[in-house]
Chains A and B, each alone.
Chain A
């Protein structure tokens, strides 16, 4: 079995970590804003509402990247 290490320390907060890594207050604010925006996007009810009532195929189509969409379109025209 590969070796296992038990950690003696407790976790730091993001602000403490930013201070330790020399990330300035303004940069820290920008990072937190980006993270919060991303989290809000992922938990937004609008995202789930827009998916409601759609078939599984339609749901999958929403998540396709533009390249994958182009590829699947190409297959249809061939």
Chain B
């Protein structure tokens, strides 16, 4: 299993490997689960309170279903660790962060300087997501109200 290379949380990391969604139903004590692209994230919603780690796998970077899975989980109130695993590349980091991922375990370790630059590349965002950043339109109209 690849190492967690970037983590934006202060709680203790869960060491358990995530069980598959299929096995999760029978494992009533498991605190970690791993979603594959075809899995339905909403199947986990009844169990969010006992989950501490959800790994979302990207077998290939171009399969973007994991972005929707991540946002759906955060929108439903999941607060545990959301870890991107698999074919995670520098140029996807910022998008993943915006969709609610707060830990990254790329299969091939990334250049730390390039990753740092990627996380901070865009000063602003156009859309609100679960990351809480104020979109440009909110800043525009806040400024208009102040002025």
Partners in one complex: no
Residues on B close to A: CB < 8 A? none
Residues on A close to B: CB < 8 A? none
